[in-house]
Structure 1
């Protein structure tokens, strides 16, 4: 994501070292980027953002990552707000890899594709990544343990796939508390069945049934024993589950060589099905968390159901219809007109139009003008939470954005370049705001959610690829916001990668640059200003091909072990330390 113009991903707090998205000046936790895995949406109904339940997936089993920059609700509905990211796993190759690295890093992955008989084809992927983690000045580590298993197949027009993953991110910082005893475990189980009913010169008709189940177990340090004048620390966090069953019917009708129509219907039953609590203090007589020596549970326990969380057990059933018309006006001009209507039962309904016109100025140069609207429906945590960190707001409404983009694309024999000018009109944005509890220590204060912002965000993005020689090429991206970011974030950032191939060796250097961030303290004399200077991060990779199917790969992140911090609004001082240097060596076999 960091090498896509308009996007950045940084680590942060909130149920583990979960990656957070910065998207065209928007830095929030609410899931304004729709993330999918093989077309299966990962954003869900409790937290709304994919990174809580799936903060990690190994790149060793990924074939490609597809991005849509800008609004995508006309096709994908809620959460396709400022972008869409679809992770596509490997399905056509047989491969395996093993790796080791700094900080106790280990890695293993395998993938296969096989024709069993006739029209039956199966594939699978499995991966593992783990590390002991770095030791930070706060006295904690950031360990990782993650696995992913996928199995799928196709018989004639019938497709079936299923996958399961689990990620543990213990220690580090959770709910603003630094502790090696913090706990975070998230997992998903997904099944997809698809069938192609009709394929002809004029018609394509298919249907899919998708089911996914998300589970999270997390507990963060809210207050230390010393802060509470007790003998034991206070940990708390969610033990939640959400489910989503979605039925899609998609069609395409090619009227003639100039006119084509895509359309579809979607029905989704989405719900938060469990809302328990993990806590180290609990009074079973009163059915809630109470602090006192007599309520200590000799560690972290799970209480499910937890009566104060019952309001979170909410369904988000929805129905949607959508369509898009493509009209080729001439060899140089093409027009797209589309829209989607979503009705989320008892919550909200939204109409999301999209219009785009593409014109070829010459064989090498193309311009595109497009307009789209997108929305995001509030989720159960924002509507109904009631815990030691957040208080829900049942009066929230959907946030939405109106986006206009002008794109110029130029492609020549040895280089190509894209320039994007965008204007986002942001309406009713939901933000996490502190409740007025200043009489409490900063680590014990609570937050709520409000539709607080209506603003415009303008900027431009540049990306390009340049073939310097037949064996050397350069890729770059640059984003510049003309307005101040919505929440404190980077107003400018850039990426650069240079690769040189000298078979059997290939070497690559990459760099990220991020602008400075300044945040004035809300409480002078109590908290310091957050003042982060601009910084750069360098990385490198070296690949040595041993033969037609074997290679040794070395990757280095943060090459010079730069010490830097990232702004995190939930921390009392606003600071989360960035990751240090990481050297990994990997053996790869294709067969």
Structure 2
């Protein structure tokens, strides 16, 4: 396959540098990370100032590399299932593309901002990151930080109900091979070298392929994915580049199961960052980044008895350019300022269609045997999609001030202003107070506002499934949180009460048009609230357990789980063996679908985990498992006739890693 040939070529190029690596870096032993290290992990996602989980003024969850690997999962989006208030499931388009749930909102519109190394992945046509980047291999990840709740005061649009920042590995020399059930195999390589005192280089490649599990609808869920990353740090200059491509055919696309379904997406990113000043008081950076997103998809709309099936989908390209300058400054009175200005241009460059029926003369999709194209063809510059070629220009400025009012009480004040030309302007304020009662107990009170700008698909779409609404306004949320944080040398626990006021929410609605099934509208204003609990207990070096529980006080927006929980246990069997088991629990869901069909999924539990054997100081073997018992279950999607999307089945894989 094309992806396999590309992966092999990249492997040869990168592998040629191995022999010149003077000093290899060994991965830390699996069991060497102490509980105190976990408590004091540094995060700067929420404030642009270095904080710990105890002092940070946002509700946060952080996973390091060892924790991620122990979960037995493969895709970064799956980590959401172990975060209070967040979930990741399948949806109707594309079924194997992860669909995020956050704080009682189950919509397909990008209400969680996804970033890789601080650079946004969400783009301007569909909004959600996973449509264009549905698979991010966990092997390339060093750490993942989650903001649970609003983040627009720093990150602007899409940082609505949460932020996920994926930090990739840049200081690792390792090779990993994987084989598994359902025809899975893959490889990951990570390389870095310090050339001299002023220059360092790194490179990463990852390739994954699987045939997929068979489903009752007569389809599989195959995957082929490649991820490439490279960079150079030279004195004060940082250059980085990233490319990924994912194929997800068959399974479910546009609410239709079919072996003819097709979905391919890719992203190319390049970035440059320069540090102007870096001393004890002032740090000043400027950066430029460019990202190109491509999607080529087609899903079954109608299966005919007397003529070939009708399939349709987008052939779209969007680009993102961003200039940013940000600074941090520490005053003599210990106040800290983080501020920045930003200009971004998000553009939909191509708006073609992939269809099995087309009339070249009229430029229309006409479902008639005489217009059948003998398969799926790509039509660029599709007339009905012309309005999708739109450019969003955004001018932004933000500032966050950390005020240590007393030794026990710290105040955070900040806001961001975004001017989206011809669409909207938004001020996103934020206020938080952190009070340390004693070394064990900390209380936080937080208020923030966030927004999400409508995307081109919502504003201007015009196909057989949806028709856009150019009159849409940005949706917004006002969030108040009360947080209690507790920690000792053996236990860390958090309890979070949140209240959201949701305004101008954009949702799909049935339309009376003969040309489409749905449209978009600022459907409603609403409120929701809930409690999020999590805790980690490490009784000794050998055993630890982490649990989460979420309870919403109102029904979710679009039917989803009102209660859910997770439990992760790790036990060091010896100096070289570790067993980790995890359980995901989901409450029942009962609802009527758009067609009137009744959907019911009883409460269920999924078991997963990993077994790791440290062969020696440089190599390890790990067995991973997801849905170990092969539980069959469905998740609800309102656009399916019966409301049901098949959940993932058992996934077993064996990983061998060698550090050099």
1:576 aligns with 2:645: yes
Report the counterpart of residue 364 of structure 1 in structure 2. Answer: 440
| Alignment partner, residue 463 of structure 1 | 534
C-alpha distance in structure 1 between counterparts of 2:178 and 2:244, whole Å: 20
Does residue 321 in structure 1 map to residue 374 in structure 2?
no
Q: Does 1:104 align with 2:173?
A: no
Pairing 1:543–2:612 present: yes
Q: Is residue 2:107 matched to residue 1:31?
A: no
Question: 1 CA distance for matches of 2:217 and 2:620?
Answer: 39
Q: Aligned to 1:496, which of 567, 581, 585?
A: 567
Identify the residue that residue 272 of structure 2 maps to in structure 1.
193
Query: Quick check: 1:554 aligned with 2:554?
Result: no
1:479 is aligned to 2:555 = no
Matches within 5 A, 1:30-429: 30-226=109-305, 229-230=306-307, 232-429=308-505
Residues 1:435 and 2:511 are matched in the alignment: yes
Give CA-to-partner distance per residue, 1:18-67, whole Å, 9 cap, x none: 10011000000100000001111011110011010000011111111111
1:513 aligns with 2:585: yes
Query: Aligned partners of 1:521, 1:115: CA distance in 2, in Å?
Result: 57
Contact 1:112–1:123, Cα closer than 8 Å, also in 2? yes
CA contact (8 A) 1:258 1:329 kept: no
SS at 1:75's partner residue? helix
1:468 Cα offset (Å): 2.7
The DSSP-based 3-state class of the residue aligned with 1:26 is: coil
Deviations 1:183-208 (A, max 9, x none): 00000000010000011222111011
CA contact (8 A) 2:433 2:444 kept: yes
C-alpha distance in structure 2 between counterparts of 1:484 and 1:476, whole Å: 23
Between 1:527-536 and 1:159-168, the stretch displaced more is 527-536
**In structure 1, C-alpha distance between the alignment counterparts of 2:593 and 2:317, rounded to whole Å:** 36
Most deviating of 331-340 and 250-259: 250-259
| 1:521 positional shift | 4.4
Note if contact 2:265-2:294 (Cα within 8 Å) is conserved in structure 1.
Answer: yes
Task: Summarize deviations over 1:126-168 as a string: whole Å, max 9, x none.
Answer: 0011100011000000000000000001001000000100000
Residue pair 1:16, 1:170 contacting (<8 A) in 2 also: no
Over residues 507-558 of structure 1, what are the superposed CA-to-partner deviations in whole Å (9 max), with x where a residue is unaligned? Answer: 01100001111112455xxx42111111110012100010001011001111
Residue 399 of structure 2: SS of its match in structure 1? strand
- Aligned to 1:180, the other structure's residue is in SS state coil
Deviation at 1:280, TM superposition (A): 0.7
- Pairing 1:512-531 to 2, within 5 Å after superposition: 512-523=584-595, 527-531=596-600
Q: Identify if the C-alpha distance between structure 1 residues 521 and 132 changes in structure 2 by more than 3 Å, giving closer, same or farther.
A: closer
Asked if the contact 2:426/2:451 (under 8 Å) is kept, the reply is yes
Residue of 71, 85, 94 corresponding to 1:6? 85
Mark the runs of 5 or more structure 1 residues left unpaired by the alignment.
Answer: none
Query: Within 1, Cα distance between the matches of 2:212 and 2:279?
Result: 54
Distance (whole Å) between structure 2 residues aligned to residue 210 and residue 460 of structure 1: 38
Q: How far apart are residue 454 of structure 1 and its match?
A: 0.7
Query: 2:590 and 2:470 mapped to 1: Cα distance?
Result: 33
Q: Is residue 433–residue 447 contact of structure 1 (8 Å, CA) maintained in 2? A: yes
Map Cα deviations across residues 176-231 of structure 1 (whole Å, 9 max, x no partner): 111111000000000010000011222111011011000000000111122xx42x
CA contact 1:15–1:219 (8 Å) conserved in 2: no
TM-score by length of 2: 0.87
Q: Is the 8 A contact 2:466 2:516 kept in 1?
A: no
Residues 115 and 122, structure 1, Cα contact 8 Å, conserved in 2: yes
Taking a change above 3 Å as real, the CA distance of residues 15 and 579 of structure 1, as seen in their structure-2 partners, is: closer
State the Cα deviation string for residues 43-102 of structure 1 (Å, max 9, x = none).
111001101000001111111111111100000000000000011111011011001001
1:445 CA drift (Å): 6.0
* Partner-residue secondary structure (3-state), 1:554: strand
Distance 2:280 2:167 in 1: 27
Moved more, 313-322 or 248-257: 248-257
Task: State the SS of the aligned residue for 1:2.
Answer: helix
Q: CA separation in 2, counterparts of 1:221 and 1:70?
A: 36
Aligned 8 A contact 2:479 2:499 in 1: yes
**TM-aligned CA deviation for residue 118 of structure 1:** 3.3
SS in 2 for 1:311: helix
Give the C-alpha shift of residue 436 in structure 1. Answer: 3.4
Inter-partner Cα distance in structure 2 for 1:315 and 1:263: 26
Conservation of the 8 A alpha-carbon contact between 1:416 and 1:465? yes
Q: CA RMSD in A?
A: 1.1
Specify the alignment match of 1:448 in structure 2.
519
Q: Return the match for 1:565 from 617, 620, 634.
A: 634
SS at match of 1:316: strand
Question: What residue number does 2:21 align with?
Answer: none
Determine if contact 1:354/1:371 at 8 Å carries over to the other structure.
yes
Aligned to 2:50: none
Which of 595, 603, 612 is residue 534 of structure 1 equivalent to?
A: 603
Question: Deviation at 1:326?
Answer: 0.6
Is residue 586 from structure 1 mapped to residue 642 from structure 2 by the alignment?
no
Q: Is the 8 A contact 2:593 2:641 kept in 1?
A: no
